[in-house]
Amino acid sequence: MLDEDRVRADTPGVGAGLVFLDSAGSSLPPRIVTDTVIAHLRRESEIGGYRAANERLADLDAVKTAIGELINAFPAAIALSDNATRSWADFFYSVPLRPGDRILISGTDYASNAIAALQRAKATGAVVEQIPNDSSGQIDLDALSAMVDERVKLVSLLHVPTNGGLVNPAAEATRIAHSVGALVLLDACQSMGQLAIDVAELGVDALSATGRKWLRGPRGTGFLYVRPELVESMEPERLDLHSAQWTAPDEYRLAPDARRFEFWEFDVAARLGLGAAVRYLLDLGPENVYAAVAARAAHLRKALPEIPGVTVRDLGLRQSGTVSFTVDGMAAVEVRDRLAEQDITVTVSFASSTLLDMNRRGIDSLVRASPHAFVSFAELDRFVAAVAGLRHE
């Protein structure tokens, strides 16, 4: 069971009147994360960046070890980067495509992923097709089975969309894609840190994630997992002296593992902070944190629909810690801003981020509340009361 008092005590941002419900955006880090980042920045100011980094080589290596423990992967299969989009794109742009090849994207796919797919299709002659959703809103597995053939080279799966609590059946979709030899790239940006993720069970070829959301790490951090059996056949579009070695005037050799997706220069302090965040989660017991997040989301999904004029917009058979809703007669931005006046933090998801899904549902924007384990149930009730009060002001 989660020690909720410890979690709150470890989070400087709580307990001072703030109700923070934006862990799907950029969460509140635990004190160990900010202390780690600040301490390294101070060390750099004392002895310089190179020497300070050399002092922490073992700790830097341990970041991948911690991530590997969290997702059941070998550290060598993990590449660290400065954000999830960069990680996703590094893999995506490394997949060879030819005219007539097919790229399948999720019906709830994120704008950055869809834009990259359209750009590559334009450049290579490949085509982009949408996987339909079923009546629950998740990926239609029967439709996917009917769609796939040997021309499908890549399937972009979104584990949890940015605009709601839907959890897509990633493992089942991956098995279907693999039946025709297609690669599967899973965007776990919104699921990492709030849902159990085992890359061996999921079977995906690659997975991208960020540090700043449910993992509670610093901004400017992310990582890419690449299936070990696949990584040696992948050549990233961009290389440097870390991802490859210059072996002769006209020759180079790629790094033998996922390091080929990394660059030499990075924010050392932020990366150490990411390691601290993952170790903190492991120390708490990930399953305890995941259960606490789920309980808080369930509390909101029960309470919000009882408010006249409030509609919870989450889809899917399985749902995550992100709760999306609208308030009749009020724009989502107005709801966000009026709650902020009461020191309640939520965010807004716009149709431009998940165009296919939002257009299909006729929604231009919605409010997103995403409570982490450090949020108390009393704070959730304060939020619910504030939402109820909006329509009476």
Question: Tens digits of per-residue pLDDT, 265-288?
Answer: 999 999 999 999 999 999 999 999
pTM of the model as a whole: 0.96
Share of the chain above pLDDT 90, in %: 98
Rounded distance, CA 72 to CA 303, Å?
A: 36
CA 218 from centre of chain: 13
pLDDT value at residue 15: 80
Q: Is 63 exposed, middle or buried (0-12, 13-18, 19+ CB in 10 A)?
A: buried
End-to-end, the C-alpha distance of the chain in Å comes to 40
Instruction: Compute how many other C-beta atoms are within 10 angstroms of the C-beta atom of residue 58.
Output: 7
Q: What is the pLDDT, as a whole number, of residue 31?
A: 98
Q: What is the DSSP string of 128-161?
A: EEEPPB-TTSSB-HHHHHHH--TTEEEEEEESS-
- Which residues neighbour 391 within 8 Å (Cβ) at sequence distance 6 or greater? 307, 308, 309, 327, 328, 329, 330
Encoding tokens for residue 300?
Answer: 């909101």
Q: Is the pLDDT of residue 51 over 90?
A: yes
Band of residue 392 on the pLDDT scale cut at 50, 70, 90: low
- CA gap 320, 196 in Å, rounded: 11
Give the model's pLDDT for residue 104: 98
pLDDT at 139 (0 to 100): 97
Q: Burial code of 288-302, b = ≥16 C-beta within 10 A, e = fewer?
A: bbbebbbebbebbee
pLDDT, tens digit, 9 for 90 and up, residues 193-234: 999 999 999 999 999 999 999 999 999 999 999 999 999 999
Enumerate domains of the chain plus CATH numbers: 4-29+286-390 (3.90.1150.10), 33-283 (3.40.640.10)
What DSSP assignment string belongs to 252-267? EEE-SSGGGG--S---
What is the C-alpha to C-alpha distance for residues 101 and 107, in angstroms, rounded to an integer?
A: 19
Task: Find residue 185's DSSP bridge partners.
Answer: 156, 206
Tens digits of residue pLDDT in 122-177? 999 999 999 999 999 999 999 999 999 999 999 999 999 999 999 999 999 999 99
Structural element, H or E, at residue 325 = strand 323-327
Strand order in the sheet with 323-327: 310-312, 323-327, 365-369, 347-350
Check whether 190 has a pLDDT greater than 60. yes
* Token pair of 100 as six digits: 């007539």
Residue 393 has pLDDT above 70, yes or no: no
Handedness of CA 145, 228, 274, 71 (dihedral sign): positive
Please, are residues 393 and 377 in contact by the beta-carbon 8 Å criterion? no
Q: Which of 325, 323, 321 is nearest to 292 (CA)?
A: 321
Confidence of residue 16 (pLDDT cuts 50, 70, 90): confident
In angstroms, the CA 266 to CA 50 distance is 11
**Model confidence at 262: pLDDT above 70:** yes
In three-state secondary structure terms, 212 is coil
* Amino acid found at 200: A
> What's the burial of 338, exposed, middle or buried (CB within 10 Å: 0-12/13-18/19+)?
middle
Lowest pLDDT segment from 13-17, 240-244, 308-312:
13-17
DSSP 104: E
Average pLDDT over residues 330-350: 98
Length reported for the chain: 393
